[in-house]
Amino acid sequence: MARVVLCTELGPPETLSVVDQADRPCGAEQVRIEVGAAGINFVDALFVAGTYQIQVPPPFIPGSECAGCITEVGEAVSEWSIGDRVIANLGLGAYSSSVLAHQSQLTALPETVSVGVGATCGQPYSTAWFALTRRSRCKPSHTVAVFGAGSGVGLAACDVAHALGAEVIAVASDHERLECATDRGALHTINSSTEDVNARLKELAPGGLDLVVDPVGGSLSEVGLRRLGFDGELLVIGFASGTIPTLPTNLVLLRNRRITGVDWGKWAMDHPDQQRQLFDEVLERIVDGDLNPIEPTHYRLEEAGAALTAATTRGVVGRLCLSPSGSPASSGPSAQALS
């Protein structure tokens, strides 16, 4: 019997319920995983609300990624064994005490990486690594500004850019978020609530920025574009501000600037082998200590609605996860709750 978070109607996270469901049989190419932690992502709330570009009719179990231990293997599975620690990228169904996953959806979770980090590093770090090593090429000589630096993707981008040798400028809306960004390698910080971002970027990078990582959109996008130097590049990752900007293309023409889209999710679905290689690179850097993902704030399954609300209202700095056992499955510096 599995304990699951169930979405029975599209709407706010508070409508989610927790129920017991009978275990489904393990297929020949599947494994059963006892979930240690399930990652909370912004896209999960969009699925629950019915506002994601792909709509799933209720009832369904939200959650796209989790980490834990294999408790059962199908007869056609040869690479995995009972007791193996794994990360599973499921698409849906992760908010559960146990899940079934196809063997192709698994990545080995290194012993030195907690299940909390394993369940929450996949999407933000894959996005940041894809942006800065595939869609662009971040170099040690570069100066990189990261907008929304306290978000999951923002913190990962600070961490990745720093690991690649760049000088990182973090832009976020409060001291707590900027402090976390500093812990992930940001050399300079700008508080977008109290400082003039355009003026501060001009002061910190008088010759112009090489790269701007932008998961925020809104008015900040044009600021980032204006502050790019010759051959500088604006990496468009998302629109967390809720506003898709309209940018003056003359600013792209000037100084041979570039705007590059970063759609990691679609790329990963279309190129599973390349994504597997990319994520292996990320995990190798984490194990080596070059990357430093934040340990997430742990919530119980019964708190899934509150966790999703916190994730979508910026109530927590860093990452969040659900722990089906009811307590954090690992120790480490937790993300910070904002009062």
What the block records as the tokens of 89 is: 């990228």
At 298 the three-state DSSP class reads: strand
Task: Report which secondary-structure segment, H or E, holds 200.
Answer: helix 197-204
In the predicted model, residues of the chain with pLDDT beneath 70 are 314-315, 326-339
Q: Which residue has the tokens 């050399």?
A: 187
Whole-prediction pTM value?
0.91
Q: How far apart are CA 235 and CA 217, in angstroms?
A: 11
**Numbers of helices and strands, H then E, in the chain:** 11, 17
Q: How far apart are CA 227 and CA 208, in angstroms?
A: 6
Q: What is the pLDDT of residue 317?
A: 78
Q: How far apart are CA 71 and CA 84, in angstroms?
A: 8
Q: What is the pLDDT of residue 330?
A: 38
Q: What is the pLDDT of residue 327?
A: 53
The dihedral built from the CA positions of residue 123, 126, 127 and 128, taken in this order, carries a sign that is: positive
Q: What is the pLDDT of residue 53?
A: 77
Task: Report which secondary-structure segment, H or E, holds 125.
Answer: helix 122-130
Q: How far apart are CA 121 and CA 308, in angstroms?
A: 17
Q: What is the pLDDT of residue 315?
A: 66
Q: What are the strands, taking DSSP E only, across the chain?
A: 2-6, 17-21, 30-40, 65-73, 85-89, 98-102, 106-108, 143-147, 167-172, 188-191, 209-214, 228-236, 258-261, 297-299, 316-317, 320-322, 336-337
Q: What is the pLDDT of residue 326?
A: 67
Q: What is the pLDDT of residue 335?
A: 45
Q: What is the pLDDT of residue 304?
A: 96
Cis check: omega of the bond before 206, within 30 degrees of 0: no
Judge contact between 144 and 232, C-beta under 8 A.
no
Q: What is the pLDDT of residues 280-322, one digit of tens each?
A: 999 999 999 999 999 999 999 999 999 999 888 866 778 999 9
